[in-house]
């Protein structure tokens, strides 16, 4: 997998990469990662990358020209053309990011993320290059770097080479349309509260059955919509086995 992030805050992206499990995927070359600084493609002593919006109004807009050059350089770095790459713009206007979208994106070989700032990016860049727009949710944050890293992190957790044990990602919330069960670690008793007995009995079947029941109860209580989805998926599975 090859990923390029086009950003005006390369140190933010680098710091995230250096301090999370993504570092492992990069170090063992299972993911080739390029952080592309928009300012490297800006003109003039001030390396201007933003300007006032045509038509007036508050806020600045990321300029098209440096962005276009940065995107073209990403194609070269990823050794690909626009036909073989998903160009993602994290934006409040996109489809809401979800587990299903995470899984859908694990099969892409080449991903380019364009991080917006201020009022956003010049529309001509979106029209020419962006293939997918995704949103973190119905709210606005100040930059696309956070959005891009949320999306990249959630996709790479399912990429072989990122986590020591991929089963850990596969047993987390949403993978089977259920929320995760509770977790406990040492010591056995904290402030007089003991861990559930079943977890220290060493009986693997009993433990996995307890965990499944807990996951189901929690999902039913906290996310009735997901619970419905889970039941539908079970019914579908049963019908396909008949
Ligand atoms: C202040 S926001 C711009 C908001 C934009 N003017 C609007 O109202 O839709 C700056 C950048 O942050 C990112 N961003 C903000 N909210 C986001 C969200 N909910 N999901 C993904 N990215 C977001 C986008 O890249 C955006 O270009």
Are 139 and 188 members of one domain? no
- 42, part of any domain: yes
- Which ranges constitute the DSSP H helices of the chain? 10-18, 22-27, 64-78, 99-105, 123-129, 144-156, 166-170, 204-222, 224-241
Are 236 and 145 members of one domain? no
- 9, part of any domain: yes
Q: Name the residue of 144, 146, 152, 154 whose CB sits within 8 Å of the most ligand 1 atoms, as the mutation to test its pocket.
A: 144
| Residue 145 vs residues 84, 88, 110, 197: alpha-carbon distances, Å | 23, 12, 18, 44
Q: Kindly state the average pLDDT of the residues 123-141.
A: 98
- 166, part of any domain: no
**Size of the chain, expressed as the number of residues it contains:** 242
Are 106 and 9 members of one domain? yes
Are 84 and 34 members of one domain? yes
Residues within 6 Å of ligand 1 by CB? 90-93, 115-117, 119-120, 135-137, 139-144, 147
Are 215 and 180 within 8 A, CB to CB?
Answer: yes
Are 95 and 133 within 8 A, CB to CB?
Answer: yes
In the structure, what pLDDT confidence band is assigned to residue 165 with cuts at 50, 70 and 90? confident
Are 54 and 122 members of one domain? yes
Closest CA to ligand 1's atom 12: 143
Six token digits for residue 8: 């005006």
Are 179 and 152 members of one domain? no
Report how far residue 106's alpha carbon sits from residue 108's, in angstroms, rounded to the nearest whole number.
Answer: 6
Give me ligand 1 centre to Cα 152, in Å.
17
Give me ligand 1 centre to Cα 133, in Å.
11
- 144, part of any domain: yes
Domain total for the chain?
2
Six token digits for residue 130: 């962006």
Q: Which of 63, 16, 18 is nearest to 39 (CA)?
A: 63
Average pLDDT over the chain, rounded to whole? Answer: 96
Q: Kindly state the average pLDDT of the residues 60-88.
A: 96
Q: Tens digit of pLDDT for each residue in 181-225?
A: 999 999 999 999 999 999 999 999 999 999 999 999 999 999 999
Are 72 and 106 members of one domain? yes
CATH number of the domain where residue 188 is located: 1.10.1270.20
In the structure, what pLDDT confidence band is assigned to residue 82 with cuts at 50, 70 and 90? confident
- 167, part of any domain: no
Are 30 and 130 members of one domain? yes
- Whether the CA torsion 204, 210, 216, 218 is positive or negative: it is negative
Task: Report helix, strand and coil shares of the chain as percent, to nearest 5.
Answer: 45, 15, 40
> Could you list the residue range(s) of the whole structural domain that residue 190 is in?
173-241
CATH number of the domain where residue 39 is located: 3.40.1280.10
Are 141 and 50 members of one domain? yes
Are 130 and 220 members of one domain? no
Are 73 and 192 members of one domain? no
Nearest ligand 1 atom, CA 115: 25
- 161, part of any domain: no
Q: What confidence score (pLDDT) does residue 166 get? A: 86
């Amino acid at each position: 997998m090859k990923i390029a992030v086009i950003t005006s805050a390369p140190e933010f992206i680098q710091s995230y990469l250096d301090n999370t499990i993504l570092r492992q995927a990069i170090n063992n070359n299972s993911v080739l990662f390029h952080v592309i600084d928009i300012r490297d493609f800006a003109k003039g002593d001030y390396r201007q990358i933003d300007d006032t919006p045509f038509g007036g109004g508050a806020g600045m807009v990321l300029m098209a020209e440096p962005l276009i050059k940065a995107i073209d350089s990403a194609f070269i770095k990823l050794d690909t053309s626009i036909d073989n790459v998903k160009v993602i713009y994290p934006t409040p206007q996109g489809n809401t990011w979800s587990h299903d979208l995470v899984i859908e994106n694990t099969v892409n070989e080449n991903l380019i993320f364009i991080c917006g700032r201020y009022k956003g990016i010049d529309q001509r860049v979106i029209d020419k290059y962006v293939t997918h727009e995704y949103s973190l949710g119905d709210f606005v944050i100040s930059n696309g770097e956070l959005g891009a890293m949320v999306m990249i992190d959630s996709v790479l957790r399912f990429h072989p080479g990122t986590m020591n044990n991929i089963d850990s990602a596969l047993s987390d919330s949403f993978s089977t349309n259920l929320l995760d069960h509770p977790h406990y670690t040492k010591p056995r008793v904290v402030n007089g509260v003991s861990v559930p007995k079943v977890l220290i009995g060493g009986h693997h079947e009993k433990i996995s059955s307890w965990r499944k029941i807990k996951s189901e109860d929690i999902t039913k209580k906290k996310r009735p919509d997901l619970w419905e989805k889970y039941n539908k998926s079970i019914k579908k599975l049963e019908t396909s086995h008949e």
